Amino acid sequence: MLAIFRKEINTFFSSLIGYVVIGLFLVILGLFMFVFRDTSLLDYGFATLGPFFSMVPNIFIFVIPAITMRAFAEERQSGAIELLVTKPIKDIEIILGKYLASLVLVLFALLPTLLYFLTIYQLAAPVGNIDVGGTIGSYIGLVFLAMAFVSIGLFASSLTSNQIVSLLIAIGLCFWCYFGFDFLADLSVANGSLQAFLQELGMLHHFNSLGRGLLDTRDIVYFLSITAFFIMLTLLSLERRKW
């Protein structure tokens, strides 16, 4: 597993892939957070990172599938997957190695955004007048969200040898898992219990819950379950070639 992890990390950073993805993520986020007037943190009049934490999941929906689209699709297209699976390594170790490498790249892209927190922290009046607990909870929520999206992206990549198809499938699944259940809940306003149930099935509800600064085990178990579910689907997809 560690060999696969190192190979994937080296592939990301020995080419332009890793740098381009991280660069685009930070540039797009920076434009929304400090340049565009409608979303600029500097125009809010009070110290908050709310717009930042609302924007990042939307960008994740596109950036993370772009990172994971080549994980298996490229190797299927080149035939390298057949060579890989003949080595004395289990399928789950291949998946976890690729999963951890993709997740590390996403978390590496998130690190510079801590400057946003430091900036707002210093600009607040008085200094430090910001919801630190909510900020920490939201960052933890982003980590769990990244974990789930990476697992979805790997599953999509395992389904096809075409990276563009993998990208589109992953974007669709990530979008549905994050927004889809809330959309269904809005359609069922006449039934309060059904609406609440549908909301709890979606990632948006649990991400917002973590953003309130309370680490509820239900939210953590939810994200871990989604991640494990899609990793298991990826494993089944890879083992399908043996049937």
pLDDT the model gives residue 10: 84
Euclidean distance between CA atoms 167 and 111, whole angstroms: 24
The runs of H, that is alpha helices, within 2-131 are 2-14, 17-30, 50-68, 73-78, 80-85, 91-110, 114-123
- In the numeric block, the tokens 């306003």 are attached to 189
Strands (E), the chain: none
Q: Give the global pTM.
A: 0.89
The residue extents of the domains of the chain are 2-242
pLDDT averaged over consecutive 10-residue blocks of the chain (243 residues)? 81 77 83 72 68 89 91 71 63 90 91 85 73 86 96 93 92 94 76 79 91 85 96 89 54
